[in-house]
């Protein structure tokens, strides 16, 4: 039975009839076609999708939605549709019963449709049970069914008008009911149901309807809000659960661990004994054992591959749809040429073109959305994985990666992955597009296309040459990343040690060091820029050369080959399509090169050795003893005892504690600890949080215990001084606390955590003697808060030793003696000699209770002034990175242009113009050529036409090359200038600026923002200019071709402009919010890296991981709306572009009688480009605006307050100044911030040249403030200081600071050689340096090092002990040997022997100098000329030590507390 008889028994109703459809002026489809195909298409669609959709819903259960009115309505409509279909079937059976025969189609089609409607109804309910609020599958089904029914609806209306007699009333009625119900179902399926039960996600995306999702309509509300007022963080929604760190990071970590476990067995055997390599070595040495390395690439594929595959599907569909445009263009030109074709065909082509471009838009934007979300998850996962790894790597591995490198892994490398994800599909998509384009070109021009292919093949060697260069550039990239790491590492150190740089006046030396690294970075950038310019030249010329050669061969091969509009412009449209993949490939390849470098760096970091969990056995041990097994030593520490560890500097005391914590690499033996551990490091680690948060450290708050801990740790008087008591925010690394306060807070944290074992690494060194005694009695000693706990105390304070249960004496990393105090004294061994030397001053007994009353007095008196400054503002110290609001000011663009150079900027713009004028000219010339009349089957002027066409093409190429070079060079000039000025401005900022500004903000400026200025802005600028000229050119061509478009372009232009401004308001602000929320991620990470040992000791890794994840999520919370806003914009703009295409085609159809095919072809081929150009233009203009924010943020530090000038020409001191060292302090006072009280006031002191003056006082009395005033780190608020009669306020800062020397409280070293740390300006000879080292008792140590003076110090001097670092600082002072020396608690961290060495060196070497010492150990200043006693910022006493003791004032009390009287 044929299809015709299937539709009508007598075959009178054919399936298809050309005369009724295509060739008619009013086309219509046959009734048979309507009853079969148009009914079956929606049915086939739904039955095809149903099984897959069922499976998808089964696995993706989103919850349960209760029955709503919407759901009931959908279900009722489904049943009604089923009833209508069945009514048709029953009616056909009834007719048959009445004797009227009906064709099979009357039974089969309605039955099929009825069953499909039943399936649809069932699906609606199943979706509700599975929590689907809006379904794309069902919306498409209703849409297809409605469109098919619309054709039949039109036919029935026409039939009613033309043949009113032949109407089947029943079937017409059921059809109209069916049509109305379909329309209702379609409308209802556009709406979204209520959210499922128990779903807590305020992000409107999950609840948006399908239509809203594909057009990104759901974000409009946020954009409206952003248009009305600048967006703030509280306006943003939560992240979708599948994008959050807690979901994403574990997936990657799991896959990575799986990869590691595959290779571990083979890797571990060989790797165990090898020393750790530098990261750059690992990157540059091609590893011979590639097989034994875990693959990060596979881990990433496993984690993100499945979701990412969806994007590849979208991409394939989009790539195929791209070629519909040129095909429809061919049909349109044929339509214009064929005057007899009915007009409806032109309109049909126009509509088809519009629909195809719209579908293409939606699919492309969906594709981008998937890519960007994958990129976002990738970044979250990498940041999370790096953070987790940083908490567990060994100290040896930690030293191979500096803080700067690890921060770069998080910022730059993670960003590179994000950028690559968007374009990685081009690797297969570009070849596919090229093949399809060549296929259609062959269809169009025949074998002549081979000429074009030949040109492309000839271009391959050129490109291969580039790829080899890219390979070279791989190593360049490694070198550049290494330079960047070194620069960030150095900047990190500079920012951490800024106080020392200022005290020593070393800023210029370090500025030069940073600039030197920066220059090597810029050299690589310059090479890459030249390479990029040549590459851009070849890629831009490639499509043109392909077109030129193809057309030339086509017209030259055979005279009869006429280049008409159809051939020329369809080919041109295809060549334009060809241009995109060819342009993109080099960009993708360079992105892949960068990403592969990043991948390697990440893999190296994630493969670092981890601390062995089994280094310390934490299981409970039977009995009450704690065996500690170290190399060649067995020590038994009874539970609950107090153990003191003593020894000289560098004898391994801190290492012993590290071993107990499991921080050291265990060779053999076992370490077991019973119960939880708390650890107080030698250098206190303080978080940027409130004082209370630092002490409570994430534990639950117990008020009474908290109070007793604060009191025992002698913190109550400090709380009185701090502006908001324990709610005061402490700056990074505790910048607004003194050394003693930091150490006490660190101790209080350990005590508060209430654990079984306490490891205390010399916590009493940084505090005054009487406070030290108070803390020992109240906290550590036998009667202290920690009685009954196991305490291991490293100490230099001999007065505490008699109270210890056990003393371990360490020499050169071994325990030489153990025993109680009396046992060791009785043995008369090394310990006893050691004691006899130092104990004569420390041993006297004192009356209890003295210190208590002293502290209470301190509290009472400070009560009054303390209360005044309490306010929430006073509690704040650091300033979070603020987001600016409103439009980026034009001045920022102007600043950038000035940084490039105005002349160079103008030349670049002129070259852009030349390129685009030549491009327009060549295409216009082509349209004139195609309109040349054909005489005797050939075109007469083709040689002339061809040569001018070629010349215009070459002009384009030259212009492209020149502007690429000029823009790239301009970008590098701007980079250099902006970085230099920012570096200078930051170094010129006063100390207060660094205390207020988190280092994360500054590092962010020097890493992320500088990277943006280096590599992102120049390329965006190029693309922005290119797309702007493209759009203007296209509009001009369309206007010339079809002047009618002038009606449409202004409103569309306005719409475009409005949408763009509307979007940029929010987009820019979201970018700023994202940028601002990025800094805390790095700040927290930096802080964590400095405190890993403390975090691990307290077992708080999970809390810190949770905190880091929270900060990353907060950052992505601002990033996600910005990518959706981008898609929102693209959909709307492409719609504007699609309208331009439609109107260009529509007006061409309307005015076909007076339009030449050439001009029409030109107009539409340009219109087809306009969509992409418009989209690109807005993307680039918003990218330009959002990225130029980097320039704004870099320039921002130019406007902050600055220190006084470093050198003042008029008031340079004489060469030997100061000659006497005479200091006169008159009515001196200073304050730390304008809104705070005076820290010290009304100080009047005259110190004669050569005098030795001790400065003493309780913590917070203003001792350090006085020295800060002398160095003008803080400027005087009142009074003045004169040195040798010169008012220091009138001198340049460097002139002043370089002529007085300080040995600061914290010994700060920078990474670099030991020699650089002593003399960064290379101002002294090697002999002088060696002599200094000898005086500083370091000569033996340094001459024992393999590299001697060139020994590389690690970051922060970590590979020297604290005592050795202090001696290096002493050597610095000896090298400068100025007339005035200030010692700021300089011997707090060393043992007594080293202390004596330092003191004797100072006495002999600085005999004729003025020495000011801030002292904790009063015995060091008892032989000084005079002592200045400060109390609460004022001078209490000033006289010789003997006189002060006789007076029995404050000094006497302190001496008594220290056991000196």
User: Which of 351-355, 584-588, 641-645, 972-976 has the least mean pLDDT?
Assistant: 584-588
Between 1395 and 409, whose confidence is greater? 409
Q: Pick the closest to residue 1080 from 404, 411, 238 (CA basis).
A: 411
Assign 877 a pLDDT band (cuts: 50, 70, 90). low
Assign 853 a pLDDT band (cuts: 50, 70, 90). very low
Assign 181 a pLDDT band (cuts: 50, 70, 90). very high
Between 704 and 1182, whose confidence is greater? 704
| DSSP H helices in 391-425 | 395-400, 403-408, 414-423
At 1039 the pLDDT is 84
Mean pLDDT of 1108-1137: 88
Predicted confidence (pLDDT) per residue in 759-818, tens digit: 888 888 777 777 888 888 888 888 888 888 888 888 877 778 888 888 888 877 778 888
3-class DSSP assignment, residue 971 = helix
At 619 the pLDDT is 53
605: Cα within 13 Å, side-chain hemisphere: 26
User: Which of 545-554, 864-873, 1014-1023, 1055-1064 has the least mean pLDDT?
Assistant: 864-873
d(CA 772, CA 1387): 15
Predicted confidence (pLDDT) per residue in 475-516, tens digit: 666 777 778 888 888 888 888 888 888 888 888 888 998 899
At 249 the pLDDT is 92
Count of beta carbons in the 10 Å neighbourhood of residue 875 = 18
Mean pLDDT of 714-720: 83
Predicted confidence (pLDDT) per residue in 239-278, tens digit: 888 888 988 999 999 999 888 888 876 655 555 555 555 5
Q: Is 50 exceeded by the pLDDT of residue 690?
A: yes
At 846 the pLDDT is 33
Mean pLDDT of 531-547: 78
Contacts of 254 (CB under 8 A, 6+ apart): none
Predicted confidence (pLDDT) per residue in 186-196, tens digit: 998 888 877 77
At 863 the pLDDT is 32
At 461 the pLDDT is 67
**R_g over Cα of the chain:** 40
At 882 the pLDDT is 58
Between 40 and 1399, whose confidence is greater? 40
Q: Is 50 exceeded by the pLDDT of residue 868?
A: no
Assign 837 a pLDDT band (cuts: 50, 70, 90). low
At 851 the pLDDT is 32
Q: Is 50 exceeded by the pLDDT of residue 621?
A: no
Q: Is 90 exceeded by the pLDDT of residue 43?
A: yes
Between 67 and 623, whose confidence is greater? 67
Mean pLDDT of 993-1007: 82
Beta strands 1380-1384 and 1410-1414 are parallel
- Copy the structure tokens of residue 581: 């993949």
At 358 the pLDDT is 92
Assign 469 a pLDDT band (cuts: 50, 70, 90). low
At 142 the pLDDT is 92
User: Which of 3-7, 681-685, 1272-1276 has the least mean pLDDT?
Assistant: 3-7
Beta strands in 265-388, from DSSP E residues, in sequence order: none
d(CA 608, CA 389): 8
Q: Is 80 exceeded by the pLDDT of residue 377?
A: yes
Mean pLDDT of 31-59: 88
Q: Pick the closest to residue 1025 from 1167, 1131, 1184 (CA basis).
A: 1184
Predicted confidence (pLDDT) per residue in 1020-1073, tens digit: 888 888 888 888 888 888 888 778 778 887 888 888 888 877 887 888 788 888
At 288 the pLDDT is 42
Element (DSSP H or E) covering residue 1224: strand 1223-1230
Q: Is 80 exceeded by the pLDDT of residue 366?
A: yes
d(CA 211, CA 896): 42
State CA 739 to chain mean position distance. Answer: 33
d(CA 26, CA 17): 13
With a pLDDT cut of 90, the percent of the chain lying above it is: 7
At 571 the pLDDT is 85
Q: Is the dihedral of CA 178, 183, 186, 191 positive or negative?
A: negative
962-966's contacts with Cβ under 8 Å and 24+ in sequence apart are: 962/911, 963/908, 963/911, 963/912, 963/915, 963/1022, 963/1025, 964/532, 964/533, 964/536, 964/537, 964/1022, 965/529, 965/530, 965/533, 966/904, 966/907, 966/908, 966/911
Assign 396 a pLDDT band (cuts: 50, 70, 90). confident
Element (DSSP H or E) covering residue 511: helix 507-557
Between 984 and 796, whose confidence is greater? 984
With a pLDDT cut of 70, the percent of the chain lying above it is: 90
User: Which of 14-28, 206-220, 987-1001 has the least mean pLDDT?
Assistant: 14-28
Average pLDDT, the chain: 81
Assign 1211 a pLDDT band (cuts: 50, 70, 90). confident
Beta strands 642-647 and 806-811 are parallel
Q: Is 50 exceeded by the pLDDT of residue 613?
A: yes
Q: Is 50 exceeded by the pLDDT of residue 826?
A: yes
- Cα–Cα distances in angstroms (integers) from residue 519 to residues 483, 495, 1013, 1019, in the given order: 9, 20, 15, 20
At 840 the pLDDT is 46
Predicted confidence (pLDDT) per residue in 277-312, tens digit: 554 554 444 444 445 678 888 888 888 888 888 888
Which of 251-260, 451-460, 1445-1454 has the highest average model confidence (pLDDT)? 251-260
Mean pLDDT of 616-645: 61
| β partners of residue 42 | none
Predicted confidence (pLDDT) per residue in 125-160, tens digit: 888 888 888 888 888 899 999 999 998 888 888 888
At 422 the pLDDT is 79
């Amino acid at each position: 039975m044929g299809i015709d008889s299937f539709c009508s028994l007598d075959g009178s109703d054919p399936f298809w009839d050309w005369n009724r459809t295509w060739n008619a002026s009013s086309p219509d489809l046959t009734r048979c076609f309507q009853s079969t195909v148009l009914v079956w298409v929606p049915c086939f669609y739904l039955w095809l999708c149903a099984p897959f959709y069922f499976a998808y819903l089964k696995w993706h259960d989103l919850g349960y939605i209760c029955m709503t009115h919407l759901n009931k309505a959908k279900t009722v409509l489904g049943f009604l549709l089923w009833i209508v279909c069945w009514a048709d079937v029953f009616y056909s059976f009834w007719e048959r019963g009445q004797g009227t025969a009906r064709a099979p189609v009357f039974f089969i089609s309605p039955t099929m449709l009825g069953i499909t409607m039943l399936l649809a109804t069932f699906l609606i309910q199943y979706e509700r049970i599975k929590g689907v609020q809006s379904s794309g599958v069902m919306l498409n089904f209703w849409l297809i069914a409605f469109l098919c029914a619309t054709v039949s609806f039109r036919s029935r209306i026409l039939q009613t008008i033309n043949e009113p007699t032949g109407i089947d009333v029943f079937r017409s009625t059921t059809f109209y009911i069916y049509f109305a119900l379909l329309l209702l179902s379609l409308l209802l399926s556009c709406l979204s149901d209520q959210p499922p039960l128990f779903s807590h996600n305020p992000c409107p995306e999950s609840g948006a309807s399908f239509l809203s999702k594909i057009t990104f309509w759901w974000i409009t509300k946020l954009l409206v809000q952003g248009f009305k007022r600048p967006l703030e963080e509280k306006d943003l929604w939560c992240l979708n659960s599948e994008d959050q760190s807690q979901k994403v990071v574990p997936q990657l970590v799991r896959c990575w661990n799986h990869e590691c476990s595959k290779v571990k067995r083979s890797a571990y055997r060989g790797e165990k004994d090898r020393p750790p390599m530098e990261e750059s070595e690992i990157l540059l040495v091609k590893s011979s054992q590639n097989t034994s390395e875990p693959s990060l690439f596979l881990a990433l594929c496993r984690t993100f591959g499945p979701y990412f595959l969806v994007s590849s599907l979208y991409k394939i569909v989009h790539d195929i749809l791209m070629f519909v445009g040129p095909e429809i263009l061919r049909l349109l030109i044929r339509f214009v040429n064929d005057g007899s074709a009915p007009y409806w065909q032109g309109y049909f082509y126009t509509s088809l073109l519009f629909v195809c471009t719209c579908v293409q838009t939606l699919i492309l934007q969906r594709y981008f959305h998937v890519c960007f979300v994958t990129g976002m998850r990738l970044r979250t996962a990498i940041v999370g994985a790096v953070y987790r790894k940083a908490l567990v790597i060994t100290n040896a591995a930690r030293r191979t990666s500096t803080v700067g490198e690890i921060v770069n892994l998080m910022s730059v490398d993670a960003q590179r992955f994000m950028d690559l994800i968007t374009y990685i599909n081009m690797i297969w998509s570009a070849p596919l597009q090229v093949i399809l384009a060549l296929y259609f070109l062959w269809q169009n021009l025949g074998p002549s296309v081979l000429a074009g292919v030949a040109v492309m093949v000839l271009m391959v060697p050129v490109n291969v040459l580039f790829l080899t260069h890219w390979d070279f550039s791989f190593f360049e990239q490694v070198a550049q990343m290494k330079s960047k790491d070194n620069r960030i590492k150095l900047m990190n150190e500079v920012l951490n040690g800024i106080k020392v740089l200022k005290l020593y006046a070393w800023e210029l030396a370090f500025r030069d060091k940073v600039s030197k690294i920066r220059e090597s970075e810029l050299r690589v950038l310059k090479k890459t820029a030249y390479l990029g310019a040549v590459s851009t030249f070849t890629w831009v010329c490639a499509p043109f050369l392909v077109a030129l050669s193809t057309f030339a061969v086509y017209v030259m091969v055979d005279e009869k080959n006429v280049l008409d509009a159809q051939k020329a412009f369809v080919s041109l449209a295809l060549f334009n399509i060809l241009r995109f993949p060819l342009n993109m490939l080099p960009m993708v390849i360079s992105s892949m090169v960068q990403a592969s470098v990043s991948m390697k760096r990440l893999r190296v970091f994630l493969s670092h050795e981890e601390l062995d969990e089994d280094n310390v056995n934490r299981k409970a041990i039977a009995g009450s003893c704690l065996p500690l097994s170290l190399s060649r030593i067995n020590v038994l520490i009874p539970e609950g005892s107090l153990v003191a560890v003593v020894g000289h500097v560098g004898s391994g005391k801190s290492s012993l504690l590290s071993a107990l914590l499991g921080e050291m690499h265990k060779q053999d033996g076992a370490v077991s600890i019973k119960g939880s551990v708390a650890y107080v490091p030698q250098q206190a680690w303080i978080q940027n949080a409130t004082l209370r948060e630092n002490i409570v450290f994430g534990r639950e708050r117990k008020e009474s215990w908290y109070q007793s801990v604060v009191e025992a740790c002698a913190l109550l008087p400090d709380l009185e001084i701090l502006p908001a008591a324990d709610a005061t925010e402490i700056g990074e690394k505790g910048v607004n606390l003194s050394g003693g306060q930091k150490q006490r807070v660190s101790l209080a944290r350990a005590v508060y955590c209430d654990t079984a074992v306490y490891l205390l690494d010399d916590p009493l060194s940084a505090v005054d003697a009487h406070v030290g005694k108070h803390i020992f009695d109240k906290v550590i000693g036998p009667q202290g808060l920690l009685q009954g706990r196991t305490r291991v105390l490293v100490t230099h304070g001999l007065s505490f030793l008699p109270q210890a249960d056990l003393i371990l004496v360490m020499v050169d990393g071994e325990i030489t003696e153990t025993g109680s105090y009396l046992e060791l004294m009785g043995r008369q061994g090394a310990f006893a000699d050691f004691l006899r030397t130092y104990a004569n001053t420390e041993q006297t007994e004192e009356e209890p209770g003295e210190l208590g009353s002293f502290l209470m007095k301190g509290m009472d008196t400070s009560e009054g002034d303390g209360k005044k400054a309490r306010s929430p503002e006073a509690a704040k110290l650091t300033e979070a990175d603020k987001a600016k609001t409103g439009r980026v000011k034009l001045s920022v663009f102007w600043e950038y242009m000035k940084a490039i150079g105005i002349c160079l900027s103008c030349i670049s713009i002129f070259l852009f113009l030349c390129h685009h004028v030549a491009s327009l000219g060549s295409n216009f010339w082509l349209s004139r050529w195609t309109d040349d009349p054909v005489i005797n089957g050939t075109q007469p002027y083709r040689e002339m036409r061809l040569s001018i066409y070629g010349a215009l093409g070459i002009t384009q190429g030259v212009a492209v090359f020149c502007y690429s070079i000029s823009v790239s060079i301009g970008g590098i000039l701007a980079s250099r200038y902006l970085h230099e000025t920012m570096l200078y401005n930051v170094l010129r900022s006063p100390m207060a600026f660094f205390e207020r500004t988190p280092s994360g903000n500054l590092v962010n400026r020097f890493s992320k923002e500088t990277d943006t200025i280096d590599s992102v802005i120049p390329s965006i600028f190029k693309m922005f200019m290119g797309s702007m000229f493209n759009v203007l050119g296209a509009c001009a061509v369309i206007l010339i071709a079809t002047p009618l478009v002038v009606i449409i372009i202004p409103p569309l232009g306005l719409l475009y402009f409005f949408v763009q401004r509307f979007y940029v308001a929010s987009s820019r602000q979201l970018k700023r919010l994202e940028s601002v929320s990025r800094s805390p991620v790095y700040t927290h990470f930096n802080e964590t890296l400095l405190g890993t040992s403390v975090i691990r000791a307290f077992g708080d890794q999970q809390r810190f991981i949770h905190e880091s994840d929270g900060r990353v999520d907060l950052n992505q919370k601002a990033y996600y709306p910005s990518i959706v806003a981008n898609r929102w914009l693209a959909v709307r703009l492409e719609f504007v572009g699609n309208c331009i295409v439609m109107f260009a085609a529509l007006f061409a159809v309307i005015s076909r009688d007076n339009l030449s095919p050439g001009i029409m072809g030109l107009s539409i081929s340009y219109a087809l480009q306009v969509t992409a150009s418009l989209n690109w233009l807005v993307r680039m203009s918003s990218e330009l605006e959002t990225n130029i924010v980097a320039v704004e943020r870099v320039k921002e530090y130019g406007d902050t307050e600055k220190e006084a000038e470093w050198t003042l020409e008029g008031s340079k001191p004489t060469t030997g100044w100061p000659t006497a060292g005479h200091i006169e302090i008159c009515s001196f006072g200073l304050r730390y911030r304008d809104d705070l009280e005076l820290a010290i006031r009304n100080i009047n002191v005259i110190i004669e040249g050569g005098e030795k003056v001790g400065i003493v006082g309780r913590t917070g009395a203003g001792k350090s403030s006085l020295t800060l005033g002398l160095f003008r780190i803080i400027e005087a608020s009142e009074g003045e200081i004169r040195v040798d009669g010169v008012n220091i306020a009138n001198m340049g800062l460097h002139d002043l600071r370089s002529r007085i020397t300080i040995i600061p409280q914290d010994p700060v070293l920078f990474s670099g050689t030991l020699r650089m740390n002593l003399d960064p300006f290379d101002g002294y000879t090697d002999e002088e340096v060696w002599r200094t080292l000898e005086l500083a008792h370091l000569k033996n140590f340094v001459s024992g090092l393999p590299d001697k003076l060139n020994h590389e110090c690690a970051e922060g001097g970590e590979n020297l002990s604290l005592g050795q670092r202090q001696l290096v600082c002493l050597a610095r002072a000896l090298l400068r040997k100025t007339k005035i020396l200030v010692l700021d608690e300089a011997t707090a961290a060393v043992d007594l022997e080293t202390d004596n060495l330092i003191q004797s060196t100072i006495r002999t070497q600085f005999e004729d100098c003025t020495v000011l010492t801030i002292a904790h150990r009063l015995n060091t200043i008892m032989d000084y000329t005079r002592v200045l006693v400060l109390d609460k910022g004022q001078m209490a006493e000033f006289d010789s030590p003997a006189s002060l003791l006789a007076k029995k004032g404050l000094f006497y009390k302190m001496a008594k507390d220290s056991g000196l009287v």
